[in-house]
Homo-oligomer: A and B are copies of this chain.
Amino acid sequence: MTATVWFNGSLVTETLTLDPSDRGLTLGDGLFETIAVFNGKAVWLADHLDRLLDGAAMMGLPVERQAIEAAVAEVLAQAETPHGILRITLTRGPGLRGLAAEGARPSLLITLIPWVRQTLFTPVRLMTASFRRNETSPVSRLKTLSYADNILAARAAAAAGSDDALFLNKRGHVAATTIANVFILRGSRLSTPRVDDGVLPGIARAKLLAIDGGEERKITPTELSAADAVFLTNSLRLVRPVHVLDGRTLRRNDAAVAGFFDALCRRIAEECGIDPREVDAL
């Protein structure tokens, strides 16, 4: 089974024909979304498109929701596998020189690869990144193609034997990891950093806040040690407990965290007719 690839209007086989001045390639000038697909259905697609279009408006990328929806539908209809990972990549397209220049037309790339086991609910060892998240920049709240900060932090964490890096922001508060939102549980009280702490408004994060009414607030690093449980959310891995931070074992309450995981899995099962845990076990 290979990837299904759609680029600028049609399905293509394996490779793209790209203008070398495409600003997605030359400047990381664009946005993306990564979406789980179960039973041929893109999970929380409307929420992902809302976020993509909000980001496109902030970056001045003209794009029509219907065009993306139609392209996604075409890709899903062609998929060779019912379960997969869909990625929508939107760039400013071929551009003149000059950072503020407009592109000729945005490029839209949609790929669907077969589901890769996400080892759902696997515990995570975190390492605090050696540098800060820049919450002063709008980019800290957008899923742009400019991921160099995240990549460098993730590589350093992997080199040190950790699974992911935790970013603090310039005020010293907890922001996010390179790929996930952070939640803490204290008693029955759920909290997660605010978006203006330099955090992507995660889709799984929003679903969990809607289900459980958690609080968005500033969180200090010492609160992570004091919490009854720390866990991460993202759209593919859903919920994973954090067991270790900077080599120190954290307090844990995996039963409570599993409850949040279960809630998200059941939401997806309602939407797609299959539970992610069944897919991941295939």
Contact = CB atoms under 8 A, between A and B. Distances in A.
- Tell which of A3, A152, A155 has the most Cβ of chain B within 10 Å: A152
Interface string A17-37: 111111011111100100000
Copies of this subunit: 2
B20 A151 contact: no
Contact of A144 (B5, B7, B29, B148): B148
Nearest to A150: B99
A211 interface: no
B134 A29 contact: no
A72 interface: no
Interface residues of A, number: 58
Contacts of A91: 25
Nearest to A6: B20
- Tell which of A18, A20, A85 has the most Cβ of chain B within 10 Å: A20
Interface in A132-171: 132, 134, 136-139, 142, 144-152, 154-155, 157-158, 170
A259 interface: no
B100 A154 contact: yes
B145 A25 contact: yes
A29 B155 contact: no
Given A18-B25, A24-B25, A144-B148, 9 more contacts: A5-B20, A16-B20, A20-B111, A27-B28, A27-B150, A27-B151, A59-B155, A134-B137, A137-B152
Interface of A: 3, 5, 7, 14-22, 24-29, 32, 58-60, 85, 87, 89, 91, 97-100, 109, 111, 113, 116, 131-132, 134, 136-139, 142, 144-152, 154-155, 157-158, 170, 178-179
13 contacts: A15-B17, A16-B16, A27-B147, A28-B28, A28-B145, A28-B146, A59-B151, A99-B178, A99-B179, A100-B154, A131-B137, A132-B137, A139-B148
